[in-house]
């Protein structure tokens, strides 16, 4: 069990957890009869939940009434008292960790960075600075796991708040029911604190206060916990107000930042909205919903919701570049790459021929009848049109492109003939017959195709690496070696690929496609390496921002059909997180993922 695995015997509180809405009902352990109702009484704006909360369980002698789902919560006071009793960490918990560094220009740890240095208590003083109380700061993580999955990571002391009953997870706002006991505890820790009658470093007792500061999760979980819209939403960014349709905009100075005050105001409007439709409209307009964490009087979601470097760089940006842009696959020959291979999820040859004819010779109404997948292919064939956005956005972009072509043709015709020209809508109509013949479709290729991968495998076998560094799969791209872990993506992209690709492409002429690919990828590698360095200072933050911007800028130039993803956009905000919280080793998700891995290893239902 969890208790046996982690050698803990905590004091816990049991709740009945509604299977439909995740509302919690306290189970009184001293009551001879059930202390919770038969059905869920949670009231939404339109109706009562009314889901069954219990079921009957057959025992040897009788039937027993038991909860359908149960959520066990460990009180934070119990965790703190246990930690304060440990000799091995008593000194660390008693000292003020936020001390001004001897070198104010460098942050070697999260305690030396701005966020915790500037985190104030209600009296205006630094929170961790107290001569009479023990002051503790917590980071918060929320994650899901598949019992059959596989995770790897580091090791750290972690307060396991609870395990949410499955099999499905709570929705965006249902998580608030499960957050409430935790937030209640931390409001108590902030306002009144708790008194431990005895601790290892304080045999006569000590008062303790605590606060939650950084929220470090993968992107979906972070948005759910903080009350921000999903990363695929129109208001996709929790840091600025850039719209999803403008995600390719790399001009950071033009992005309007979000503020704590506005976030709280819009969250309260959502909380007080009369109907679910009104709530949905507010999220659509502002990208904000209510979260229990906003009850904490000090918690600023715009400053304390972190972009986890493990998920962002290793599991998303590196993986997307290698698998989606370069299309790593042993089954294909080397070539221009997956950006130019449209064999998957694309219309057939005859459909494309007809679509090209309509695009260049048909009417606007005919163009509207084409599906979005076909319109995307037409945009890609122009070599310049973006493929992002809904169908209406793409159609508008294509019409503007056609009008520009027509106007260019008009300029080339003598003025005395200009009056005889057809109007633009008539120019678009040439009939269905006699379309321009299409060239044969090119053979699908990959940048990391068969020959390049063989070179990479050969170098991997002969390369001697430090023993602490994770091994990449023996033959990346072959299915039998499974998926990459975050550590394996780190090794593969920052060690194995640079070694081989610099050898293969580094000698190419300046401006050649091979050299441009290499330069583009090395901008990314350099940026990611800078985020993991110690110490963090303004010079390294500037270098990171420059290299990441150059990577994204050259990415759009090299691969016109590629779109900036939410994680790529957020990477341009990452410099602020380095400045606020210092080196990433103190706040990335590796330790939490390791804890998740241990939970997955338990043989239980």
Could you read off the pLDDT of 206-233 as tens digits, one per residue? 999 999 999 999 999 999 999 999 888 8
> Residue 162 pairs with which residues in a beta bridge?
73
User: End-to-end alpha-carbon separation of the chain, Å?
Assistant: 10
Residue 388 pLDDT more than 80? no
Residues 6+ apart with CB under 8 A from 227: 263, 267, 288, 289, 290, 291, 293, 294, 301
Rounded to two decimals, what is the model's pTM?
A: 0.78
Tens of pLDDT, residue by residue over 262-303, are: 999 999 999 999 888 899 999 999 999 999 999 999 999 999
Residue with more model confidence, 282 or 471 = 282
pLDDT of the residue at 398 = 84
Q: Is the pLDDT score of 62 beyond 80?
A: no
Residue 340: pLDDT band with limits 50, 70, 90: very low
Which secondary-structure segment (H or E) carries 72? strand 70-74
pLDDT band at residue 356 using 50, 70 and 90 as cut-offs: confident
Residue range 60-64: mean pLDDT, rounded:
77
The residue that leads in pLDDT, 461 or 36, is 461
- What confidence tens digit (pLDDT) does each residue in 518-570 have? 999 999 999 999 999 999 999 999 999 999 999 999 999 998 778 899 999 99
Distance CA 296, CA 190 (A): 9
Show the CA angle centred on residue 157, arms to residues 153 and 160, nearest 5°: 90
Domain boundaries, the chain: 2-71, 87-227+291-306, 314-341+450-581, 349-410
Bridging pattern class, strands 24-26 and 12-17:
antiparallel
pLDDT digits (tens, 9 = 90+) for 136-192: 999 999 887 655 444 433 345 788 888 888 777 888 889 999 999 999 999 999 999
Between strands 206-215 and 194-196, the pairing is antiparallel
Q: What is the spatial distance between Cα 338 and Cα 325, in angstroms, rounded to a whole number?
A: 6
d(C-alpha 273, C-alpha 439), whole Å: 57
Give the residue from 92, 130, 98, 133 showing the smallest Cα distance to 114: 98
Q: Does the pLDDT of residue 599 top 50, yes or no?
A: yes
- Backbone dihedral angles phi then psi of residue 358, each to the nearest 5 degrees: -65, -40
101: confidence class by pLDDT, cuts 50, 70, 90? low
At 341, the pLDDT band (50, 70, 90 cuts) reads very low
Mean pLDDT over each residue of the chain, to the nearest integer: 84
pLDDT digits (tens, 9 = 90+) for 304-336: 999 999 999 999 999 999 998 998 988 888 887
CA distances 464 to 163, 458, 459, 469, 529, Å, are 41, 12, 10, 11, 20
Whether 409 has a pLDDT exceeding 80, the answer reads no
């Amino acid at each position: 069990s969890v208790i046996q695995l982690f050698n803990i015997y905590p004091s816990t509180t049991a709740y009945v957890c509604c299977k439909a809405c995740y509302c919690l009902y306290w189970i009184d352990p001293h009551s001879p009869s059930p202390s919770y109702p038969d059905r869920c009484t949670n009231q939404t704006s339109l109706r009562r939940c009314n889901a069954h909360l219990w079921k009957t369980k057959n025992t040897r002698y009788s039937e027993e009434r038991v909860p359908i789902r149960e959520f066990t919560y460990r009180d934070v006071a119990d965790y703190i008292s246990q930690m304060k009793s440990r000799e091995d960490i008593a000194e660390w918990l008693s000292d003020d960790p936020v001390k001004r560094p001897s070198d104010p220009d460098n942050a070697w740890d999260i305690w030396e960075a701005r966020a915790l240095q500037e985190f104030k208590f209600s009296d205006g003083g630094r929170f961790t600075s107290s001569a009479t109380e023990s002051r503790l700061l917590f980071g918060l993580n929320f994650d899901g796991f598949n019992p059959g999955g596989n995770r790897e990571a580091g090791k750290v002391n972690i307060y396991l708040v609870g395990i949410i009953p499955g099999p499905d997870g709570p929705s965006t706002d249902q998580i608030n029911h499960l957050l409430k006991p935790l937030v209640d505890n931390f409001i108590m820790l902030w306002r009144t604190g708790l008194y431990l009658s005895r601790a290892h470093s304080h045999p006569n007792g000590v008062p303790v206060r605590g606060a939650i500061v950084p929220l470090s999760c993968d992107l979906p979980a972070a948005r759910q916990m903080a009350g921000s819209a999903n990363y695929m939403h129109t208001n996709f960014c929790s840091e600025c107000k850039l719209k999803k349709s403008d995600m390719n905009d790399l001009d950071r100075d033009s992005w309007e930042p979000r503020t704590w005050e506005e976030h709280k105001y819009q969250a309260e409007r959502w909380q007080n909205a009369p109907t679910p439709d009104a709530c949905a409209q507010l999220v659509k307009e502002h990208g904000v919903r209510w979260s229990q964490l906003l009850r904490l009087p000090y918690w600023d979601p715009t400053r304390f919701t972190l972009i986890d470097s493990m998920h962002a760089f290793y599991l998303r940006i590196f993986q997307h570049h290698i698998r989606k842009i370069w299309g790593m696959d042993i089954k294909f020959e080397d070539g221009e790459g997956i950006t130019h291979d449209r064999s998957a999820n694309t219309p057939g040859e005859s459909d494309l021929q007809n679509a090209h004819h309509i695009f260049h010779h048909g009417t606007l109404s005919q163009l509207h009848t084409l599906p979005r997948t076909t319109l995307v292919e037409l945009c890609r064939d122009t070599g310049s049109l973006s493929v992002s956005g809904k169908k209406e956005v793409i159609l508008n972009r294509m019409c503007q492109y056609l009008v520009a072509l027509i106007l260019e043709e008009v300029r080339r015709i003598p003025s005395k003939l200009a009056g005889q020209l057809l109007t633009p809508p008539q120019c678009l109509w040439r009939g269905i017959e006699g379309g321009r013949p299409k060239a044969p479709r090119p053979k699908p290729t990959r940048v990391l195709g068969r020959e390049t991968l063989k070179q990479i495998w050969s170098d991997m076998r002969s390369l001697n690496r430090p023993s602490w560094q994770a091994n990449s799969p023996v033959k990346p791209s072959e299915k039998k070696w499974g998926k990459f872990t975050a550590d394996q993506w780190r090794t593969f992209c920052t060690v194995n690929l640079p070694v081989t690709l610099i050898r293969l492409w580094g000698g190419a002429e300046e401006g050649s496609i091979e050299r441009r690919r290499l330069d583009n990828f090395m901008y990314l590698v350099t940026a990611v390496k800078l985020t993991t360095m110690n110490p963090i200072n303004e010079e390294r933050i500037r270098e990171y921002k420059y290299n990441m911007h150059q990577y994204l800028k050259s990415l759009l130039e090299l691969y016109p059909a590629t779109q900036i993803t939410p994680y790529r956009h957020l990477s341009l905000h990452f410099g602020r997180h380095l400045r606020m919280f210092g080196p990433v080793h103190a706040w990335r998700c590796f330790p939490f993922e390791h804890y998740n891995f241990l939970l997955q290893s338990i043989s239980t239902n």
